[in-house]
Structure 1
Amino acid sequence: MNRILLVLLLLSAIIYGCGKSGVDPVVQYQNQKAIDDKIISDYIAANAGLNAKRIDTTGVWYVIKDGEQGSGNVLYTSSTQVTVGYTAKILTSGTVVAQTDKFHPTYILGGVIKGWQLGIPQIKPGGNVRLLVPSRYAYGPYPQDSLKLPANSVMDFQIQLYNVTN
């Protein structure tokens, strides 16, 4: 009898431990979305001359200075290769977490963060775009230790597009 009670007690502890704990992931996502969107909208409001445009309802904003659109006809797909130079900063602190110098890496568009997938097609080869990317379209709740990038970082990317290959 004692063994049965012990087994039932252990089983109930296991079941209780497997139950929901903490914040619902959907609520957590919505809360972070609101925080990120406020950070970006406050930044844009504080920098009135920025002339930023939002990409649909994504929360990703872009800025293209006059004459920096680039040229050519480009069809972007998820398998398009893009050769870029870039600087990546945390928007709230301005801390540079990554940048290219003389080396310009080539990426497959479908393999980069969603903010880049949405923002790079706004320009053509030779173009230059600044992207303000909420954490949900950057690295999300995952810290990037190699970049010393905290979780849920809102990002500011300056991207020069050198080449596009389909």
Structure 2
Amino acid sequence: MGSWKRKQLSTMKKISFLLAAIILFAASCKKEDNCPYTESTRSASAEERTYLANYVQANSITATEHSSGVFYSIVTPGTGANPTICSGINMRYRGTLIPTGAEFDATPGTSTASFQLGELIIGWQKALPLIKAGGKIVLYIPPSLAYGAQEIRNPSTGAVLIPANSYLKFEIELV
């Protein structure tokens, strides 16, 4: 083999080694993301949006409509970072049925509940990132962004807590 071919092979080996090193370095710099959740693209139907718009208007509630169809009122914005779909969150909350106001769930007293945002109903996933720790928000959620056609029952008694296709109101404080 001539010296020209040896130089060419040597140069190709160097280039190959350099490319392999660059690829290895780039791969090692990639942020490891173990979050199994993705943002939902689901949104409320026109009928659900109209129902909630009429409800907040009839009850003189000042609320903003999120692009998903959740209506919300920010009581206190809070401070710090906004939660993301993969965030662990601590909160106090109270859930009631619209329009009756019947309470179906709440954190007792000053207790808090901890969840991963991506595990919660879509209405919460969409609206809770609008506030930060210490923030308070009131949510008005249509059935398609809550539990849909699924009934939610008390695990101890079997009594229906949330009827199928219910509109829900949540008062939430991130702590």
Same fold (TM over 0.5): yes
Q: Is the 8 A contact 2:93 2:106 kept in 1?
A: yes
Q: Is 1:106 aligned to residue 114 of structure 2?
A: yes
On the 8 A contact 1:132/1:154 being kept in 2, the answer is yes
Matching residue of 1:39:
51
User: Deviation per CA, 1:114-133, whole angstroms, max 9, x where unpaired?
Assistant: 00001111111101000000
C-alpha separation in 2, matches of 1:77 and 1:34: 27
Residue aligned with 2:90, SS: strand
Contact kept? 1:44, 1:52, Cα under 8 Å: yes
Runs of 4+ that moved beyond 3 A: 32-35
Of all paired residues, the percent bearing the same amino acid is 30
Deviations 1:67-108 (A, max 9, x none): x11112x15332201101000001121110000123211100
Report the aligned-residue RMSD.
1.6
Q: Which residue of 2 aligns with 1:129?
A: 137
Which has a greater percent of helix? 1
User: Cα distance, 1:35 vs. partner?
Assistant: 4.3
Q: 1:52 to 1:75 in 2, by over 3 A?
A: closer
Amino acid at match of 2:129: P
Q: Work out the CA distance in 1 between the residues paired with 2:45 and 2:113.
A: 30
Q: 1:140, 1:153 within 8 Å by CA — same for their partners in 2?
A: yes
Extract unaligned runs of 5+ from structure 1. Answer: 1-31
Letter in 1 for 2:132: K
Max Rg structure: 2
Q: Pick from 87, 90, 96: which aligns with 1:89? A: 96
TM-score by length of 1: 0.71
Q: How many residues align?
A: 126
